[in-house]
Structure 1
């Protein structure tokens, strides 16, 4: 599963520097998602380290960054509040096992069936979610501890530093690409704030305001091994199984869609089934080291790719760098201004959002554009898994509706006086109603043939429709014959057994040239 890639000096430099940039951006995200889930900040930071390291080493998409995510955190909060953190660890363990099984049984390939409009909606929805999440950094606690919007000089300072960060990220690559512009922006703004003594909130201010503890710190120790302290019985399974199923599904959907987005950005192709296994391994590892689990993060992945990180070393550097910050460099991380990290994430939003989707309104079918809007809105209003599911179902229904209108029949009489219906188009659940309207059983002759040479019978609804037509003719004392059914269609009829009764004519055998013969 793991290979030792060959590194060039340039790729090592790019991966290390982009990995350090990612490590810095991971800190407030991991802390924020830990609070969303209702757990200690270190539980989120440990998850960012473990998930990031395991998936970087064993994952199917080099350059993709994984860690604690909001999509999974919102699922965890009710479990933690009702049953405690140990049940969370047990649920994460089971979710990891389910993800491993998904990879072993090669279910990851089905992500390729997600329609492109759904992909665009997913990307746009996540961009909006990332943007809205950053707005919380513009709130500060008042005298009572309640959060309120910044005002006056504090707000203007914050906005100015955010714009400065964004300007550095945008313009520096035009001068040099020797170092990641995001890393330069974070360091520059941090030095500026502390050099000039500007009043700007820092990472530790954010942690303390979220926890309500004025002495909170990001300093920590290595995570310790411990099996979840729950009873391994059916009662525990009953509690955690619903959460584990959702966590596994959300994690895989977000990871595999992020993998697909990065594939398109880099012109390469990741291994979806391998990514499923690595995500599962990461979550199982989290469960025994006191971490909340996670999945791929499109925001941090975009930072990494845009900063030049392409290989596994970038993800490894990001994870190890985060752990080193926790163990030895917490004092340095704590003084980073939030404005610098907000500016980085705003640039991620700009780079992630598919601005071209606005131009698609008049260039793509209306149902495709509606799919983009639908998935985007559901992603923002609900969550990613529901949005993708809704988008796929909508696209499938539109496909069925459009193809249901494509069935028709041409008729003629043969030399024996039989009327032949030559059916064109697919016969499936969506088209059976129109199919049944094609026949004039009352006025047809005694012998009728339905020719499926240019059609295909796809499902049981189609078989039932054929049987219904046959009954109509039988009740009028007329005979209906079926001709040119494909082998798959004949198989469907044979499986149906005595559920349907149709009269199939012997079909002529055709010799067909296939690619297999040229093998």
Structure 2
């Protein structure tokens, strides 16, 4: 069981100096989170204060109960298309239900130690949907940047682009000027004032200029959403029914999956920056707790925020207390300055989200995968395009299925079965396929080296290849299995079919150098017991020695082929060979000189 309230390692060696560092970093990250929280909420189709509530509640809880010392949680850009689609289709109340259900799922994922499974999502899929989300966020802010009004919101990307095109004639020059000023400050602030958050500075400067130079000429948060209250809402549990659970389970799964991916990616980034190591399952449980509590205050789903976590570390954070302080800072700002936030122009929010979209776009990784011109490039493009033109759920599902199909195909192509014989020119006479030809091929002993995974994607191919060889009806089939690392039940079934066919022909199957997992599979299914322990060998040379005692001696007499050293004696009518069936008791004269 994971210990949720395990603070010892995260606060080890904590001091007054550590507290001072956490206060500074928490203050800085809190200031950074204010404009982002409002912007993410507006882009998700809900009121800006809901983003602030999420920053406060989820930010504090994720820091307290998560598995990373430096993780900063809250609303993120990756959630925008998902949450906007849920609000458009189901409404805000159902978004709260989906968020709560996602929290339950995340908590259970951590409780049952599924944190490691997130890493099995292929990188082309994550890059594809992340870049697709970035495109969706960026284009979604064009209307506010240009000051377009009267647009109808749609779930469809194409329909939203058509709306923008139809209303281009209504561009507002004051909005463009406001957005341009904010964007310029955001881009130039890191160079001139590196210690001041660019998004906050851009927001303040553009808002003040708009208020002073051209008041009432641009749409503001107040005109669009009303005044932001300077308090947290009352605690209210969303009404959850069986019908709402059925309706919202799919959106909740998507939120939980994306939240888990992003939070663990953020934690990995934090580990790389600090040399620490996060607890993935505890992190998922902390994310689950936060997402179960946040909807009770009207907040939207939250996860680990990579950019804010990096800012927290660069600002000198020492412990999770910095994340708690960042939430408290936003709470104090909400109490004191909420009425003034209503005057912020929507055009000032647009560049903030556009820059967020640009930074999260993974453009370099996207181009790198495309340049490889492999199957991964196709998966990347499919996921990317489906994220933009359909929805994230479809994109991830199709991307995962495509990746799985390509994986199975590639793994099946790796399966090799090659017929081998001892190579008398090699030291130790190791078996090799290069010595096999028409004049050098034992008709009674067939040795095959098997390489690859014997699973459902390759098992039929394995059986087909050996079935062709069994048409010659060898007396002994030796399967050299040292390069088979995995076997599933389908592979075992096809393996058993080969054994059955050899026995039907009156032959014997011997197995050499089998790995642990395939051997365990044969024991579980009973095939190992059916074959008999005496038919399993640690070395191929021992299997050959045993095989030579099973030959039809009359068929060996006069045989010109010298596949084995023993063939010279076996083919001599004047040399008698006494068959032995016990590999441990086989005489040295009947033992092959082949080492492996």
TM-score (norm 2): 0.70
Match of 2:103 among 87, 92, 96: 96
Shift of 1:316: 3.4
Q: Which residue of 2 aligns with 1:171?
A: 191
Distance in 2, Cα, partners of 1:325 & 1:67: 17
Q: Specify every segment of 5 or more residues in structure 1 that has no aligned partner in the other structure, as ranges.
A: 511-519
Conservation of the 8 A alpha-carbon contact between 1:448 and 1:480: yes
Structure 2 residue 38 is matched with structure 1 residue 27: yes
Conservation of the 8 A alpha-carbon contact between 1:51 and 1:66: yes
Q: Which residue of 2 aligns with 1:496?
A: 525
Listed as ranges, the matches of 1:27-46 within 5 Å are 27-33=38-44, 35=46, 42-43=49-50, 45-46=52-53
Conservation of the 8 A alpha-carbon contact between 1:31 and 1:45: no
Conservation of the 8 A alpha-carbon contact between 1:99 and 1:279: yes
Corresponding residue SS for 2:194? coil
Q: Which residue of 2 aligns with 1:188?
A: 205
Conservation of the 8 A alpha-carbon contact between 2:179 and 2:206: no
Conservation of the 8 A alpha-carbon contact between 1:34 and 1:43: no
Match of 2:344 among 336, 346, 356: 336
411-420 vs 456-465, greater mean Cα deviation: 411-420
Deviations along 1:10-31, whole A, 9 cap, x unmatched?
6643441232121122113224
**1:460/1:391 CA distance change after superposition, 3 Å:** same
Distance in 1, Cα, partners of 2:381 & 2:52: 34
Corresponding residue SS for 2:372? coil
Shift of 1:314: 5.3
Q: Which residue of 1 aligns with 2:116?
A: 109
Shift of 1:160: 2.6
Shift of 1:78: 7.5
Distance in 2, Cα, partners of 1:345 & 1:144: 20
Shift of 1:489: 1.6
**1:130/1:64 CA distance change after superposition, 3 Å:** farther
**1:299/1:105 CA distance change after superposition, 3 Å:** closer
Shift of 1:495: 2.4
Match of 1:127 among 125, 131, 134: 134
Shift of 1:137: 1.8
Q: Which residue of 1 aligns with 2:415?
A: 407
Shift of 1:266: 6.8
**1:94/1:366 CA distance change after superposition, 3 Å:** closer
Structure 2 residue 464 is matched with structure 1 residue 437: yes
**1:204/1:227 CA distance change after superposition, 3 Å:** closer
Corresponding residue SS for 2:452? strand
**1:90/1:407 CA distance change after superposition, 3 Å:** closer
Structure 2 residue 198 is matched with structure 1 residue 154: no
144-153 vs 4-13, greater mean Cα deviation: 144-153
Match of 2:379 among 371, 378, 403: 371
Conservation of the 8 A alpha-carbon contact between 2:44 and 2:83: yes
* Larger RCO of the pair (alpha carbons < 8 Å, separation 6+): 1
455-464 vs 42-51, greater mean Cα deviation: 42-51
Shift of 1:247: 4.2
Corresponding residue SS for 1:294? coil
Conservation of the 8 A alpha-carbon contact between 2:63 and 2:323: yes
Deviations along 1:30-65, whole A, 9 cap, x unmatched?
244353xxxx66555433432222113322342433
Structure 2 residue 28 is matched with structure 1 residue 17: yes
Conservation of the 8 A alpha-carbon contact between 2:106 and 2:288: yes
Conservation of the 8 A alpha-carbon contact between 1:60 and 1:274: yes
Distance in 1, Cα, partners of 2:502 & 2:487: 23
Deviations along 1:400-439, whole A, 9 cap, x unmatched?
2222222223324589942211212222222223322332
Question: Number of paired residues?
Answer: 490
Q: Calculate the aligned-residue CA RMSD, in Å.
A: 3.8
Distance in 2, Cα, partners of 1:56 & 1:168: 31
Shift of 1:162: 4.1
Deviations along 1:73-118, whole A, 9 cap, x unmatched?
257448855xx93x66555444323321211211112122233333
Shift of 1:141: 3.1
Q: Which residue of 2 aligns with 1:467?
A: 496
Structure 2 residue 235 is matched with structure 1 residue 225: yes
125-134 vs 251-260, greater mean Cα deviation: 251-260
Corresponding residue SS for 2:536? coil
Structure 2 residue 364 is matched with structure 1 residue 356: yes
Distance in 1, Cα, partners of 2:220 & 2:307: 17
Conservation of the 8 A alpha-carbon contact between 1:130 and 1:349: yes
Conservation of the 8 A alpha-carbon contact between 2:417 and 2:450: yes
Shift of 1:441: 1.0
Q: Which residue of 2 aligns with 1:65?
A: 73
Distance in 1, Cα, partners of 2:350 & 2:274: 25
Listed as ranges, the matches of 1:316-327 within 5 Å are 316-327=324-335
Distance in 2, Cα, partners of 1:79 & 1:403: 41
Distance in 2, Cα, partners of 1:129 & 1:298: 18
Corresponding residue SS for 1:438? helix
Q: Which residue of 1 aligns with 2:303?
A: 296
**1:380/1:262 CA distance change after superposition, 3 Å:** farther
> Highest Rg: 1 or 2?
2
**1:372/1:433 CA distance change after superposition, 3 Å:** same
434-443 vs 254-263, greater mean Cα deviation: 254-263
Distance in 1, Cα, partners of 2:173 & 2:96: 44
**1:310/1:433 CA distance change after superposition, 3 Å:** farther
**1:229/1:9 CA distance change after superposition, 3 Å:** closer
Distance in 2, Cα, partners of 1:144 & 1:91: 25
**1:203/1:271 CA distance change after superposition, 3 Å:** farther
**1:359/1:305 CA distance change after superposition, 3 Å:** farther
